[in-house]
Amino acid sequence: MQHIIDRFISYVTIDTESDPNSETTPSTKKQFDLANKLVEELKTIGLKEVTIDKHGYIMATLPSNVDHEVPTIGFISHFDTTPDFTGKDVKPQIIPNYDGGDIVLNKEQNIILSPNYFKDLLLYKGQTLITTNGLTLLGADDKAGITEIVTAMEYLINNPHIKHGKIRVGFTPDEEIGRGADLFDVEKFGADWAYTMDGSQIGELEYENFNAAGVKITFKGKSVHPGYAKGKMINSMLIANDFINELPKGETPQETKDYEGFFHVTGISGSIEETKLDLIIRDHDMKKFKKRKELIEQITKKFNKKFAKQFGEDIVITTIKDQYYNMKEKVEPVMFIVDLAEKAMKSLDIKPLIKPIRGGTDGCRLSYMGLPCPNIFAGGHNFHGKYEYVPVESMQKAIDVIIKIAELTATTDFSIKTRGKVELSGAKEKKGKKKK
């Protein structure tokens, strides 16, 4: 396991925070610090066709080692970390043989990772945990996924007796700001389907995700000396507050679960004259998703009508931009790729946790770009903050799942279908040309 720990730490100690306000790809130049390191590492372990483009997208190939035709599969992870919390100067802490008690992340600031609050910790009693030092995030999202993919490819190269078809590897920038798939060349990648290694708890297997939209709202106002403001001042900050209060009660991230959607205010800044509000809309159901967007438009019109006479023009300017959609629509016609991953997990005594993602992955976008791409656990917990941690044993299990999926893909006859599903009981090898 030390090999996994060392590799993971070598990745997370490189700052790769993305920037939503940047118009470049990658959004921050420092993402190349890890990207270039990964390119050299992929070459060193023996992968072929290792490429990186000017935008930081990395692709590589593990050639097939069987004589029969096998679908080309892919494994994808992202190397940026969220701008929600700093990823600079990450100093991981190793907790061997976790005893089930409180973990002191930072003594000076009394920052404690406790199972009393984070109950999932108790699932990993006796295991080795990697945590933060309480001052940064960890970066398991998604450097754990990268660690797992690289390590699995290395294992397959060093153990050629494990039979597999052609495997493509892809690493992307800017996933955390919703742009990870923007410039991903699906045709160049050349896989029949792929998996993102970007889930959380061990066993997670996901092919449903939120429909997502980002909303930017500008509120206008009129500044007047407060001593003479009656009937004249319009405080844009108060209008923004009233707008937020128009949103449905109980439909925030902290009040919803499972298939329940939400409105989430992510940022607000302003003055009397102008206030800017950022929020996101999320819902698994497309009809409900559209209704949520319509509600924002309705509230906007209501405020503009209310202030039309006093302000003289639109006082609220709203822009809604769709970010990604539920991949379920694109994955269900090829459900055998989910079944394959489920079978791989069960064969390794991992209980599959098939549930909707309350978020999104590169796979959401890629599925709509022609590359069906369910999501598999990477093992981390409490992403995007100082309480983030990952059990090393979970990373090892994710590595095992990748290897097993590769093995099953090479031993399954995908021409045999039962009730619209591929029969996964195994198949005889067919002689023929390797799929390029």
In terms of DSSP H, where are the helices of 307-359?
308-311, 328-331, 336-347
Q: Chain-centre distance of CA 331, in angstroms?
A: 17
84: nearest Cα among 384, 386, 360, 388: 384
195-220: b (≥16 Cβ within 10 Å) or e: bbbbbbbbbbbbbbbbbbbbbebbbb
The angle subtended at Cα 63 by Cα 62 and Cα 69, nearest 5°, is 130
Over 221-255, what HEC string results? Answer: CECCCHHHCCCCCECHHHHHHHHHHCCCCCCCHHH
Q: Cα separation of 312 and 303, whole Å?
A: 12
Phi-psi region for residue 348, left (φ > 0), alpha (ψ -120 to 50) or beta? alpha
- Dihedral sign computed on CA atoms, order 369, 374, 378, 384: positive
Containing H/E element for 389? strand 389-391
Q: Cα separation of 49 and 195, whole Å?
A: 20
Instruction: List phi, psi (to 5°) of 378.
Output: -110, -15
Catalytic sites, residue numbers? 80, 175
**Helices 140-158, 392-410: crossing angle, 10 deg rounding:** 50
Instruction: List phi, psi (to 5°) of 239.
Output: -65, -40
Q: State both tokens at 368.
A: 């709509």
Q: State both tokens at 120.
A: 């999932």
Q: Chain-centre distance of CA 251, in angstroms?
A: 22
Q: Cα separation of 409 and 141, whole Å?
A: 27
